[in-house]
Amino acid sequence: MARGSTKEQIIVAAVETLHQKGFNGTSVQDITEAAQVPKGSFYNHFDSKETLAVEALERYWQKVLNGLSTLGDEKTPAVVRLNRYFQHLNDVARQAGYRTGCMIGNMSAEMPDQSRAVRERLAVLLAAWSRAIESCVREAQADGTVRRDMEARTIAMFLLNSWEGAMMRAKVDKDAVALTAFVDVAFGALVT
Amino acid sequence: MARGSTKEQIIVAAVETLHQKGFNGTSVQDITEAAQVPKGSFYNHFDSKETLAVEALERYWQKVLNGLSTLGDEKTPAVVRLNRYFQHLNDVARQAGYRTGCMIGNMSAEMPDQSRAVRERLAVLLAAWSRAIESCVREAQADGTVRRDMEARTIAMFLLNSWEGAMMRAKVDKDAVALTAFVDVAFGALVT
């Protein structure tokens, strides 16, 4: 199989390794070994592990964006799309055996005060993720299926953060309980 | 000021350091320097950083327990106690400048697959924390202030995990928005 450039191999390996072991649990050597490239080649492409972490987050975000595309499918009622979206995130977590969790959530818990560059990137990605959910919440409020006594923006932020918190708990408990409780309570309480 | 035993100094320093920098971001030397004890003394008291992390979590839990005692104040309506409890957690986070977050949440995101001992301890503490909230939710359901169409146990788990998720987001955004959204949406949607 053809492999990408050294830089590309490093980014692909970094997404995998940083997602599994966290920023401080991963050394540059862990990444170059996973990428099967010489350790010395790292600094030809990246200033630091921090710079690479920002690129790896961007790459991970592309996967999140792919999943978010289902939220825009206008043939399905908005509230059904929202529910399916979070069920889909839960399915992905289950298939991964409740390991690794969400790379964006993990880094948010681990290191926002350690790296300004990573924190700023996390803030931008979480804001974009919230906005994608917000559009769908607004549609569901317009068709009367989600309660209207709270702003779509606030509900969307709540949904995303609450899912991240449930994912964190699932990593500890290694079962579906927290993620199921999230969907049941959030949708039970917000859907009219 | 009298200082505790070397072991006690190490535990106190570990709570502070692990909370701030995470498990993998903290070395044994960081802890012994913060404790102002010789590095060599560490292994007289602890097998490993992992063993110390479990003791540090236990110590941190005592602070969580102190905060939880307000949930048992039967002179105040249960739903008010619940709301005040989470507002109190939000105040603590604000006073800390949305740094550090919750040590239990941070370790849950960072390392459950890295250490079985830490994961098992996190699971026990999160279960105990959920149960304390559950008792108060059950009281609020009994007096008709919290909706009864969901189990108290499920609501309690949802509240704790959702707060943890909001705390994670607040660490990135460095503002109150996520924590305020949590209280507004959760209580707005669950209180009858």
Instruction: Please report residues of A whose CB lies closer than 8 A to that of B112.
Output: 171-172, 174
Helices (H) and strands (E) in chain A, counts: 9, 0
Spatial separation of the C-alpha atoms in residues B100 and B29, rounded to whole Å: 20
Residue with tokens 């003791």: B55
Any CB–CB contact under 8 A between A116 and chain B? Answer: no
| pLDDT for A1 beyond 80 | no
Residue of B nearest to A126 (CA): B169
Any CB–CB contact under 8 A between A88 and chain B? Answer: no
Spatial separation of the C-alpha atoms in residues B150 and A184, rounded to whole Å: 8
Instruction: Give exposure, B107-122, as e/b (b: 16+ Cβ within 10 Å).
Output: bbbbbbbbbeebbebb
Nearest to B166 among A147, A161, A186 (CB): A161
Half-sphere exposure of A148 (CA within 13 A, CB side): 7
Q: Please identify, in words, the CATH class of the domain defined by B50-190.
A: mainly alpha
Interacting residues of A180 by C-beta distance below 8 A, sequence separation 6+: A90
Residue of B nearest to A171 (CA): B112
State the DSSP code for A77: -
Of the ranges A85-89, B70-74, B157-161, which one carries the lowest mean pLDDT score? B70-74
Q: Which two tokens stand for residue B15?
A: 């709570």
- Read off φ and ψ for residue A166, nearest 5 degrees: -65, -40
What confidence score (pLDDT) does residue A3 get?
60
Rg (CA), chain B: 18
CA B115 → CA A16, A142, B105, B159, distances in Å?
19, 47, 15, 26
Share of chain A above pLDDT 90, in %: 95
| pLDDT for B54 beyond 80 | yes
Q: Which two tokens stand for residue A166?
A: 């449930």
Spatial separation of the C-alpha atoms in residues A99 and B146, rounded to whole Å: 34
Instruction: Please report residues of A whose CB lies closer than 8 A to that of B174.
Output: 112
Structural contact between residues A183 and B140, judged by C-beta atoms closer than 8 angstroms: no
Domain ranges of chain B: 50-190
What confidence score (pLDDT) does residue B4 get?
74
**What average pLDDT does this structure show over A49-69?**
97
| pLDDT for A138 beyond 90 | yes
ipTM of the complex: 0.96
Residue of B nearest to A127 (CA): B173
What confidence score (pLDDT) does residue B1 get?
44
CATH number of A57-190: 1.10.357.10
| Separation in Å, CA of B33 to nearest CA in chain A | 19
Q: Establish, for the pair of chains A and B, how many residue pairs have beta carbons separated by less than 8 Å.
A: 171
Half-sphere exposure of B2 (CA within 13 A, CB side): 2
Element (H, E) at B173: helix B152-173
A23, exposed or middle or buried, with CB in 10 Å at 0-12, 13-18, 19+?
buried
Spatial separation of the C-alpha atoms in residues A126 and A111, rounded to whole Å: 15
Structural contact between residues B88 and A146, judged by C-beta atoms closer than 8 angstroms: no
Any CB–CB contact under 8 A between B164 and chain A? Answer: yes
Q: Do B157 and A169 make contact, defined as CB atoms within 8 angstroms?
A: yes
Mean pLDDT of chain B: 96
| pLDDT for A2 beyond 60 | no
**What average pLDDT does this structure show over B105-120?**
96
